[in-house]
Amino acid sequence: KNEVEQSPQNLTAQEGEFITINCSYSVGISALHWLQQHPGGGIVSLFMLSSGKKKHGRLIATINIQEKHSSLHITASHPRDSAVYICAVHQNTGNQFYFGTGTSLTVIP
């Protein structure tokens, strides 16, 4: 049983395209995180959400608590956005941390 499901698993886009990555979860959460992992392993925390919407540069993250769904949008995608994007949730009971399997994004010039 996967507490966090991400789609799509793989995504190839042309530079400049608008990209959406989806995350659905099945547990009650206190926070949802979007992480970015480049080849070599380093992980960067992009957003932490508990409600609503956040924007940072060309990245936008939204969450719908009632529907247990979050989306990560990238506007005007660029080859440097190529990475694996991981959705993670912090469960509000038991304090467990669950991860999606990641979405591998490749942006072609």
The contact set with another protein (CB under 8 A) reads 30-31, 33, 35, 41-45, 48, 50, 86, 88, 90, 94-102
- Select 17 or 98, whichever has its Cβ closest to another protein: 98
In the chain, what is the straight-line distance between the N-terminal and C-terminal CA atoms, in Å? 38
Q: What's the min distance (Å) between Cβ of 98 and another protein?
A: 7
Please count the other Cβ atoms lying within 10 Å of the Cβ belonging to residue 2: 12
Q: What's the min distance (Å) between Cβ of 87 and another protein?
A: 10
Burial class of residue 5 in the structure, from the number of CB atoms within 10 Å of its CB (0-12 exposed, 13-18 middle, 19+ buried): middle
- Select 14 or 93, whichever has its Cβ closest to another protein: 93
Q: What's the min distance (Å) between Cβ of 42 and another protein?
A: 5
d(CA 21, CA 83): 12
- Select 41 or 109, whichever has its Cβ closest to another protein: 41
**The token pair that represents 91 in the structure block:** 């469960």
CB 59 within 8 A of CB 74: yes
- Select 94 or 109, whichever has its Cβ closest to another protein: 94
Q: What's the min distance (Å) between Cβ of 25 and another protein?
A: 14
